[in-house]
Amino acid sequence: MTDLCAKIHLAQGGFTLDVEIAAPAGGITVLFGPSGAGKSSLLAALAGLKRPDAGRISLGTRVLDDRDTHLPPHRRGIGLVFQDARLFPHLSVRGNIAYGHRRAPPRTRPALEDVAAFFDIAGQLDRPVANLSGGEKSRVALARAVASAPDFLLLDEPFAALDGARRRAFVRVLLDMHKRFALPMLVVTHDMDDAAALGSHLIGLKDGRVAASGDFAATAATPAFRAVLDRHDHGSAVAAAQLWPSPQTGGIRNVWLRADHVLLAAEAPRAISARNVMAGTVAGIEAEEDGSLMVTLATDAGPILSRITQAALRELELVYGKTAWALVKAHAV
């Protein structure tokens, strides 16, 4: 298995990256953190663009970096999709994809036609890349990386240039691509919706340190990870399969339920769409700085967080172990 493991110490200007991470070969690891957390530095070190001051990076049994070793980027077998597609302007769409394909090991690389067909660009192979749209550029960059058959693929905020529906569509492309080409992936993002939709594993990065890491839903529920998030992003990951079937959630892994979007009821609500309601027991009540309360409800779909006021708590008479119902608005998903 080609798990990507790294212990990195990297000082740069006034900033120090000091992390130990593991991204398993199976599944998609999400590297989440606010800007300035060190996500880009970490990616650069993994890709071999920056050499750590100390530490060790390994891919499966291969050592990429340690005290005596520093494999250059082109010999690591690691692919990187940049935020700004970085297509080669002197080559056509086909030329760009073939660039990666030609240099890939023939035994493991996918057929060029399959890649083009998968990314739906078979009809545009002969176009110059200069006049592609933002979304098309992103897809060509992905196709180029996939065609080069890396042992591990890193993606640096690949949706940064996309918005709304195209962004959600792109998340699904990444999930399908992960399955279709059996590519181990590490995705950097600072958007919790994208993170939850993709991630099977989660690494929370803050100020150059790992705040929390491990299985996605479990890690996302920890107070340590919550400290990485913006207050309005506090919430919990619920497996999409546990929620009401909706075309909006089709195919994605988890849905991020923000605590501010979850209502609590002390009695089973009746005149309400039943699928929006999940019963659980109160497993935690924490006071927040501004006086509001974060209630954790243990449900069959895992822990669900809801932020309520002191007055609401008194009215609902919520205490540990009491049964309550979480209500989620469909548009919150």
Partner 1 sequence: MITGAEWEILSTSFAVATRAILWSLPFAVAVAWALSRPRLPGKLLFDGLAHLPLILPPVLVGFLLLLLLGRGGVFGGWLDALGIRLAFTRGGAALATAVMAFPLFVRSVRLAFEATDRRLFEAAALLRAGPWDRFVSIALPLAGPGILAGTVTAFAAALGEFGAVITFAANIPGQTQTLPLAIYAVLQQPGGEAEAMRLAVLSILLALAGLALAGLLQRWAARRHAG
Question: Under the rule (CB under 8 A), what is the footprint of partner 1?
Answer: 47-49, 72-75, 77-80, 82, 84, 86, 88-90, 99-100, 103-104, 128-130, 144-145, 148
| Spatial CB neighbours of 188, under 8 Å, sequence gap ≥ 6 | 30, 31, 32, 39, 40, 43, 154, 155, 156, 157
* Amino acid identity at 39: K
Whichever of 128 and 223 has its CB closer to partner 1, that residue is 128
Exposure letters 299-316 (e unless 16+ CB within 10 A, then b) = bebbbbbbbbeeebbeeb
Token digits of residue 294: 């974060």
What is the C-alpha separation between 273 and 260, in angstroms, rounded? 19
Report phi then psi at 111, rounded to 5.
Answer: -65, 140
Report phi then psi at 296, rounded to 5.
Answer: -100, 125
Whichever of 77 and 184 has its CB closer to partner 1, that residue is 77
CA-angle at 173, arms to 167 and 179, nearest 5°:
145
What is the C-alpha separation between 25 and 214, in angstroms, rounded? 14
What is the C-alpha separation between 258 and 236, in angstroms, rounded? 7
* Residue 132: DSSP 8-state: -
Whichever of 51 and 209 has its CB closer to partner 1, that residue is 51
Token digits of residue 232: 């309005």
Whichever of 102 and 322 has its CB closer to partner 1, that residue is 102
Whichever of 188 and 229 has its CB closer to partner 1, that residue is 188
Whichever of 145 and 282 has its CB closer to partner 1, that residue is 145
Whichever of 5 and 98 has its CB closer to partner 1, that residue is 98
What is the C-alpha separation between 314 and 7, in angstroms, rounded? 48
